[in-house]
Amino acid sequence: MNLQGKKVLILNQDYRALTICSVEKAFILVYLNKAELVAEVPGLRINTITSYFAMPSIIRLFRYVNLPYKGVVLTRQNIFKRDGGKCQYCGTTHDLTLDHVLPRSRGGKSSWENLATACKPCNSRKGDRTPQEAKMSLTRQPFKPTFLMFLRDYSGMLDENWRPYLGASKITI
């Protein structure tokens, strides 16, 4: 069976979401008794030469991992994910780039709250102005997603088993 692209939610010892990993890594953690299987993917198995195992959907670590701060890294791809891969001015999904809502030349910083996905034509039209000055409106104000929000809404994974651990009112792709 091809496991490529399949993901597993890893929970800390206290059942808080830590991260998402590959099925292979999750299987090894369970097999080596470093984690336990919390939920499996119904009907799917991992086959070995001599036996088969349930395919994990959620695992829980036996030892607590102390992570003082878990944030989402500010990257171009994460901004695109947050904005749904659409221009925040016109909604197109083609020829995308990043726009500084308050232009850098006017003191705008590269931050979650000041970066938005924009297509090249809209970014060029806006130029060195604010959206208000260019008479362009943003579909949604840029914001910094929380770690759990990013896992839940922007990771591209959809597994209903994860809902209770991610505080999800919805899980979207």
Query: Is 62 within the bounds of a domain?
Result: yes
Q: HSE on the CB side for 139, CA within 13 Å?
A: 15
Give the whole-angstrom CA distance, residue 123 versus residue 168: 33
The domain tally of the chain equals 2
pTM: 0.70
Give the whole-angstrom CA distance, residue 110 versus residue 75: 10
What are 93-124's pLDDT values in tens digits? 999 999 999 999 999 999 999 999 999 999 99
Query: Is 173 within the bounds of a domain?
Result: no
Structural domain harbouring 58:
7-68+147-166
Least confident range from 85-94, 134-143, 151-160: namely 151-160
> Which helix (DSSP H) or strand (DSSP E) does residue 3 occupy?
none
